[in-house]
Amino acid sequence: MFRRLDDAISVYGQLLPADVAEAKAQGFTTLVNNRPDGEEAGQPEGGTIREAAEAAGLDYHAIPIGHGGFSEASVAAMAQVLGEAEGPVLAFCRSGTRSTLLWALARSTMGDSGADLAEKAAGAGYDLGPIRGHIG
């Protein structure tokens, strides 16, 4: 179900409020929503997922990545979440791709090598090609 990038983070497509219990059961402590509200009809609002996360005792962060792409602020926010999380993080968007790319950009600013990040992403079925020139 969730795609593991490494011990600290996994990614997923659109998380539903009902999926929060499964995330908790699998040991995640933090959820990161990388999907802007209203991106697609029928998509649950971030506030609904936030409520489910808080009810389950999980930390919740919204770092939406829309059509404008990644910004320094979104990369810094993701690096901060990764650095402060007190257990495994589950990041989600529509397919898991934006979450993976944002994770790689953030980890690169934290000193991880581009080759290691690319290998981890590929192991979960994601390609860092679109950002390869921006990671170490």
- Structural domains of the chain sorted by starting position, each given as residue range(s) with its CATH number in brackets: 3-128 (3.90.190.10)
Work out the mean pLDDT of the chain and round it to a whole number.
97
72: left (phi over 0), alpha (psi -120 to 50) or beta: alpha
Q: Rounded to the nearest 5°, which phi and psi values hold at 12?
A: -160, 160
- pTM beyond 0.75: yes
CA dist., res. 90 & res. 4, Å (int): 9
CA 120 distance to own-chain centroid: 14
What does the pLDDT look like over 15-71, one tens digit per residue? 999 999 999 999 999 999 999 999 999 999 999 999 999 999 999 999 999 988 999
Q: What distance in Å separates the CA atoms of residue 10 and residue 28, rounded to the nearest whole number?
A: 9
Where do the H-state alpha helices sit in 7-113? 20-25, 46-55, 72-84, 97-109
The pLDDT value given to residue 136: 79
